[in-house]
Chain A
Amino acid sequence: MAVYRRTYTAYSGPLTPLWSRFLVLFRYSRRNMFRSRFQTGLFVACFFYPVVCLCLIYLSHNLSFLEKLGAPSQVVAINNRFFFNCVSVQGVLAFILTAFTGPSLISPDLANGALPLYFCRPFSRAEYVLGKASVLFILLSQITWIPELILFGLQASLAGPRWMWDNLWIAGSLIISSLLWILILCLLAMALSAWVKWRIVAGALLLAVMFFGAGFAQAVNVVLRTQSGHFFNLPYLMATVWNAMFRVDAEHAIPVSEAGIGLLIYCLICLFLLMRKVRAYEVVA
């Protein structure tokens, strides 16, 4: 029908499958995200360190080139610690990117009362959360495990199949450690943005959870003369798990299993907070 005709007709065409509807949210949210030049710039900046690593891997396999430059033949050892550093740096960048992009996913919908419009359609709360989380998941994947795997692939191709088979576990660690961090960041960012309707405040709160959490943990440890305070320090818990995954020797105050359980509890709390807030209307008893 021509759009200028001011009449109403019912829609009788085909419908898309129910399972694919969360991708609609992904598409629109991602489009909105990249409208901001700052966020686009930040996203691009996140690739700086992987590019540096790429160059280091290349240089470490081109000794003649290094000799010409007069640099020591072994610039950097490409081993588990190298990839651990890469994961750590990209993890920090992922956190910064999340602090700027995550809160804008849910808080505007809550602030403008848009949730009833989503849920009055054949679209569940779980699909809504999945749709919004998928934006962060893809975005953070693009700056964490995907470039890290590319680095691993480059190193494997230059070092040969023997190195690859001996260090295949590093690839697994790269993926799992990044996915774990992405999951925590997604849930935390969405839970905070669902509870604090203002985007900027939600971003600040995310930073506070990380930095003040670390300070609070230290205070608890000192005052109570215990190590349990570390459970309030999310980055510490994550670092403990990462160290174990990459077999990096480091002393940790709490065992890896307990750190893992701590992270799981954080995830469950975030999910609980999220599902309490993401609903068409709040019920006030």
Chain B
Amino acid sequence: MSTTPQLGAADDERAETSSPAPRAPLVELRGLSVQFGRREILSSLTAALRGRAVGLLGPNGAGKSTLINTLLGFYKSSAGSARVLGHDIVTGTKEIRGLVGYMPENDAFISKMSAVSFVQMMGELSGLPASAALERAHEALFYVGLSEARYRQLGTYSLGMKQLAKLAQAIVHGPRLLILDEPTNGLDPSARQRMIRMIKEIRDNQEMRVILCSHLLRDVEDTCDEVLILKQGRIAHYSNLHEERKANRRFLEVQIYGANGDFSDAVEKLGCECAVTADRIKMVLADGIETRDIFRLAAERQVRIRRMNFRRDTLEDIFLKAMES
């Protein structure tokens, strides 16, 4: 009973810091650099990540995990600064860690513990009272689909189950930001689907935002609305995937039967850019030109269109462009 005022104070402290405005920056990077010895791992990163789910992409060794570890205060920055949910990564490390749930990339568990004890302990370390931690450990394990196996020792779990247990410990304390480092590593297709579905559910939950670090483009494309692409420790590209797709909607790919004739020339006369390959014509539509205009030109020249589709830039295109730049 005597601890009530302290508990209340802690709660108030958390409430003050834990409710970012809907589109307040999740992470702000201001010239953040990280060096290990003489090796520069991250170099002058500047960006403001605002999405509900932000994907960190990059080839192996690009610095994705280093960025996450720096945001969590595991590594010291050599220059610049960063803020997570409004807290500076140097002065507000404890506050940040109180608001974040982290699922590391590698195996991370305590082998001689049952899943429920493990998740409960992690909840208690995050500040939950023992009884609340136990209740939420059960809830989290039910949520991730480990309800049947929650009394088994973690050492006996399969890789997929260990990933789910790691996810459970990351969400047990109800974080405002969930950082997932390669969450689908080593999962079979069905387990991967289940993990992706769960991440989407978490993302759509209004109480939590997600940073997903992966080198698998599909995972990021399926779950994220913003993407930060790193290359050799630098930001190669940062964009809102939805906006990016919208911007590329006027990219048209037409497949025709037979000869092209002067069809492509006619399209170019409308002000569109064309690239012709065998039976395909790729075009970027000019302003004011609609698909019906293309159909009209084809009809006039008796060109039979076999297939026509808007070809959106996939994340793969964006990624490859970023890597080439």
Query: Which of A's residues lie within 8 Å of B, judged by CB?
Result: 1, 3-18, 21, 24-25, 28, 32, 35, 108-109, 111-114, 116-124, 279-281, 283-285
Residues of A within 8 A of B282 (CB): none
Measured CB to CB, the nearest residue on chain B to A111 is: B111
Residues of A within 8 A of B294 (CB): none
A15 touches B128 (CB 8 A): yes
Q: Distance in Å from the Cβ of B145 to the closest Cβ of chain A?
A: 8
A117 touches B104 (CB 8 A): yes
Measured CB to CB, the nearest residue on chain B to A13 is: B132
- Determine if B215 is an interface residue (Cβ-Cβ < 8 Å): no
B121 touches A16 (CB 8 A): no
A113 touches B128 (CB 8 A): no
Residues of B within 8 A of A113 (CB): 104, 106-109
**Interface SS of chain A:** loop
- Determine if B306 is an interface residue (Cβ-Cβ < 8 Å): no
* A279 CA to B76 CA, complexed, in Å: 12
Residues of A within 8 A of B117 (CB): 28
Residues of B within 8 A of A9 (CB): 139, 174, 207
A8 touches B7 (CB 8 A): no
- Determine if B8 is an interface residue (Cβ-Cβ < 8 Å): yes
Known: A24-B124, A281-B69. 17 other contacts (CB 8 A): A3-B147, A5-B142, A9-B139, A10-B174, A16-B127, A17-B6, A21-B127, A24-B125, A108-B112, A112-B109, A113-B106, A114-B110, A120-B72, A120-B100, A123-B125, A279-B74, A281-B74
Which of B74, B125, B201 has a CB less than 8 Å from the CB of A280? B74
A11 touches B205 (CB 8 A): no
Measured CB to CB, the nearest residue on chain A to B181 is: A116
* A92 CA to B216 CA, complexed, in Å: 56
- Determine if B75 is an interface residue (Cβ-Cβ < 8 Å): yes
Q: Distance in Å from the Cβ of A100 to the closest Cβ of chain B?
A: 15
Contact (A14, B143) CB under 8 Å given A21-B124, A114-B109, A279-B74: no
Residues of A within 8 A of B202 (CB): 8
A14 touches B7 (CB 8 A): yes
Measured CB to CB, the nearest residue on chain B to A28 is: B121
Measured CB to CB, the nearest residue on chain A to B18 is: A10
- Determine if B173 is an interface residue (Cβ-Cβ < 8 Å): yes
* A222 CA to B101 CA, complexed, in Å: 58
Contact (A7, B75) CB under 8 Å given A116-B108, A117-B122: no
B10 touches A16 (CB 8 A): yes
* A13 CA to B135 CA, complexed, in Å: 12
- Determine if B262 is an interface residue (Cβ-Cβ < 8 Å): no
